[in-house]
A = this chain, B = another copy of it.
């Protein structure tokens, strides 16, 4: 992500446009540096505006800006999961993973900082935002699998896989984005099926799903 070009002074932005411009600048900075290393001055400079203007939009300072940027990134991330409910299931999962990995690629260090925790700007509110995205991912998967009442074993398997996806994307960023995103994506889809298959041995609901997946071409 390249920082937004400075806005010429004569161009007047609406409140919403300005807010969104500041969030974009902030996100592009968080993508390359840990949140604690980004100052409001940096955000003002990247957006080509004055520091007081940044404060006018985010009177709570960096914490408020960070949370707003995080919320906007979380919304973007949720959109990665939008996938029409048609066609075979595993290709749907592959397409959602492609969008997710493109998001991880783009947000890079900011994504790591967020998920790894221990940041000075991390609070129970930021943790709740991230958990909300995890829950949304799990709900999407359940709804694509067309399960109305997922049992505890199926839910545990899906949540474990989502955590495993997160962990693998952090490692992927650490390892200079190797293997290539498409390889990682295929491997994650295969892990999904393998994890479900283990659960299927103990859980009839998951067993039925695994059978359906095998027939769903």
Which residues of A come within 8 Å of B, CB atoms? Answer: 116-120, 122-128, 152-153, 155-156, 159-161, 163-164, 166-168, 171-172, 175, 178-179, 183, 187, 190-191, 194-195, 197-199, 201-202
Contact = CB atoms under 8 A, between A and B. Distances in A.
Contacts of A166: 163
Given A152-B175, A190-B198, 9 more contacts: A117-B122, A118-B126, A156-B171, A156-B172, A156-B175, A161-B164, A163-B164, A194-B195, A194-B198
Number of copies: 2
A101 to B, nearest CB: 14
Nearest to A201: B190
B167 A163 contact: yes
Nearest to A123: B118
A159 B122 CA distance: 24
Contacts of A126: 118
A199 B164 CA distance: 14
A100 B159 CA distance: 20
Query: What does DSSP make chain A's interface, helix, strand, loop or mixed?
Result: helix
Contacts of A172: 156
Contact of A187 (B117, B163, B171, B199): B199
A139 to B, nearest CB: 15
B152 A178 contact: yes
Contacts of A161: 164
B160 A164 contact: yes
B160 A167 contact: yes
Contact of A117 (B117, B152, B163): B117
A199 B188 CA distance: 10
Contacts of A128: 118
Contacts of A116: 127
Nearest to A160: B164
A163 B161 CA distance: 10
